[in-house]
Amino acid sequence: MRPVLPLDVAAAARALLALPDAERNVVCQRMLAQADAADRYVRRTRKLHPHWGNGTLLAAARQWPLAGEKSFDDRGYRDCTMMVLRHLDQRAGQISCKPA
């Protein structure tokens, strides 16, 4: 997966916010896996992945419907952001983020 920037986390959180609570955990894992797979595809073929883009979490998240922009005053958005960050933290040792 490409390096994760704040915009990536925000897009992933917005994608999760658009889903029912019960689906968010699985979809978060799926988005991260899609970003990782897309990055490997781009590095191998020098082309964008046809579904998941350029290997960023932002590109993977944009394949899902996104909720409107929220502030951290919104509890649901804050929870989704924290979920993305927890999943990134859990994966930190498993997937190396290589510089662009």
- pTM of full prediction above 0.85: yes
Report the pLDDT value the prediction gives residue 93, as an integer from 0 to 100. Answer: 64
Q: Are 31 and 64 in contact (CB under 8 A)?
A: yes
What is the DSSP-derived secondary structure letter of residue 55?
Answer: S
Burial class (CB in 10 A: 0-12, 13-18, 19+), 100: exposed
> Chain-centre distance of CA 63, in angstroms?
10
Report the pLDDT value the prediction gives residue 92, as an integer from 0 to 100. Answer: 78
List per-block mean pLDDT (blocks of 10 residues) for the chain, which spans 100 residues. Answer: 96 98 97 96 96 96 96 97 96 59
Tokens of 66: 């996104």
Report the pLDDT value the prediction gives residue 100, as an integer from 0 to 100. Answer: 46
Q: Are 52 and 35 in contact (CB under 8 A)?
A: yes
